[in-house]
Amino acid sequence: MNRFAIAQIALEQETEGAAFDLDDPFIGLLGQKAGRDDLWLGKAAARYTSYPPATAFEDGVTVQTYRTALERLAPEEPLSLYLHIPYCRALCLYCGCHTQATQNHEQVSTYLGSVHRELEGIALTASRPRRVSHVHFGGGSPNMMSEKDLGLMLGALSRRFALDDATEVAMELDPRLITRAQAQALGMLGITRVSLGVQDFDPDVQKAIGRIQPFDQVERACALLREAGIRKINLDLMYGLPLQSPPSVAQTALQALSLRPDRIALFSYAHVPQVKKHQRVLEQYILPGPYAALAMEGAARAVLREAGMVEIGMDHFARSADSLAKALKSGKLHRNFQGYTDDQAPTMLGVGASSIGRMTQGYFQNERNGAAYQERVRAEGFSVTRGLRLKGEDKLRGAIIESLLCMMKVNLESLCRAHDYSLSVLRDSFERLKPFEAAGLVKREGYTITLATPHRMAVRVVAALFDTTTLAKDAPVSRAM
């Protein structure tokens, strides 16, 4: 029986994998011994793009508080900008992003006017243009913007901020919208990296999730982008979707590799229909359970590893020459609201509806409703409504969680010393770690904790052992698998 056939059995029977050859790195994706993975698989845990996670943010943060925090930023301090474009041509059924479908370009342009005003407000809080190390356009589908919109936005950024040849300007793209004219515009305007939403190449899966984009279409999009001078291309894949199987997900990974991307993200599908009601349509199918999803993730991971991609954190892969792989090797890998990054800027400002920014003192989140966001920006220049002031212990625990998610290990003694805390503050976390250590999921050497399972998604649940925030029962948090 070949490897894909064994993994297919795992999908169909939701096996715990006790009877398989666990020395095989491919089959290692299944449980090592009975009950071991029950400690983490399928457990609700944040993805920890921040700590405390956004579910712990509090209402009532004022625009004036945000403006004051901006004014206190040192003018010479580099920062990153995240610009959220919450529009798509159509809503994909798996989508968990803060976005909406529209065919009305005027609606997009009107929204962009508010983004321009918010950027202007940020610029006016400094006596000279602030230096920007990274710009990231997310969504939604930022390439819903017309070539004119793109020109105005990149022009405004270059006038209001200090961008140079070292500034990375990244944009998430819907490959179905990419034309030669758009690709050329992106290249001329200075976009340096793009991420294409692929998810899956299987036609039946694409039909089920409401996102039809044949391989040839994505291949042509990559060719057009490279022709326009954009060489850094990332691809986003997803597992745990209806009609997927380990062999089909592995095949998608092989097809993705044939497009020669610099990075591949391998995300698990988060089914949160209590928040994203359109996801209920997918319940007409039998959604993969935790062990089935684990088999899919392992099948794709094996393909990517065999191709020489470097594993980055729990769900990213990069070529060895990519800056993300270099950051991992040098110990400078970080995690923020865009996922894994080599960006070293201590401040990231979120622009647009629902965007979240971080400064040393805490987090600030904009109004999530698009219309309300625009109204508040018109009235006050900014639209911050939620956030959280970071305490010293928050910073310590955030550093612990970031180290775990980036490096798959953490030196607790070193971080406690750096943050001027005694190890005793982690007493409860040490107690919660004991079952994981006994099961062989983590290894402890003194006060260094290392993930000891090949299932990297388990790190989310291990990280949660250091999380002291309270998770509401109805919080939209996905499960680790």
Among 14-23, 118-127, 245-254, the least confident range: 14-23
- Over residues 178-188, the pLDDT tens digits come to 999 999 999 99
Res. 31 pLDDT band, cuts 50 70 90: very low
At 357, give phi and psi (nearest 5°): -120, 160
CA distance 420 to 427: 16
Average pLDDT over residues 273-301: 94
pLDDT of residue 479: 84
Res. 480 pLDDT band, cuts 50 70 90: confident
pLDDT of residue 189: 96
Res. 44 pLDDT band, cuts 50 70 90: confident
Residue entry with tokens 């057009």: 224
Res. 66 pLDDT band, cuts 50 70 90: very high
CA distance 315 to 234: 13
Residue 310: pLDDT over 60: yes
Share above pLDDT 70 across residues of the chain, in percent, rounded to a whole number: 91
pLDDT of residue 9: 43
Give the CA distances from residue 451 to residues 30, 49, 75, 288, in Å, rounded to whole numbers and listed in that order.
Answer: 16, 19, 40, 25
Residue 137: pLDDT over 50: yes
Average pLDDT taken over every residue of the chain? 91
Judged on CB neighbours under 10 Å (0-12, 13-18, 19+), 308 is exposed
353-361 contact pairs (CB < 8 A, 24+):
353/84, 353/86, 353/98, 353/111, 353/383, 354/84, 354/86, 354/98, 355/82, 355/83, 355/84, 356/50, 356/54, 356/82, 357/82, 358/50, 359/69, 359/73, 360/390, 361/69, 361/389, 361/390
Residue entry with tokens 């291990």: 462
Average pLDDT over residues 280-286: 94
Give the CA distances from residue 384 to residues 24, 26, 73, 351, 372, in Å, rounded to whole numbers and listed in that order.
Answer: 51, 46, 17, 10, 11
* Residue among 34, 20, 30, 85 nearest 373 (CA): 85
Instruction: Fill in the amino acid letter for 164.
Output: D
Average pLDDT over residues 244-255: 98
Antiparallel, parallel or unpaired: β 130-139 and 161-162: parallel
Res. 4 pLDDT band, cuts 50 70 90: very low
* Residue among 239, 233, 195, 255 nearest 319 (CA): 233
Domains of the chain: 1-34+174-307 (3.30.750.200), 50-133+153-162+323-388 (no CATH), 391-469 (1.10.10.920)
Residue 11: pLDDT over 80: no
Residue 5: pLDDT over 80: no
Residue 402: pLDDT over 50: yes
Residue 30: pLDDT over 60: no
Res. 481 pLDDT band, cuts 50 70 90: confident
pLDDT of residue 407: 98
Residue 476: pLDDT over 90: no
CA distance 193 to 186: 10
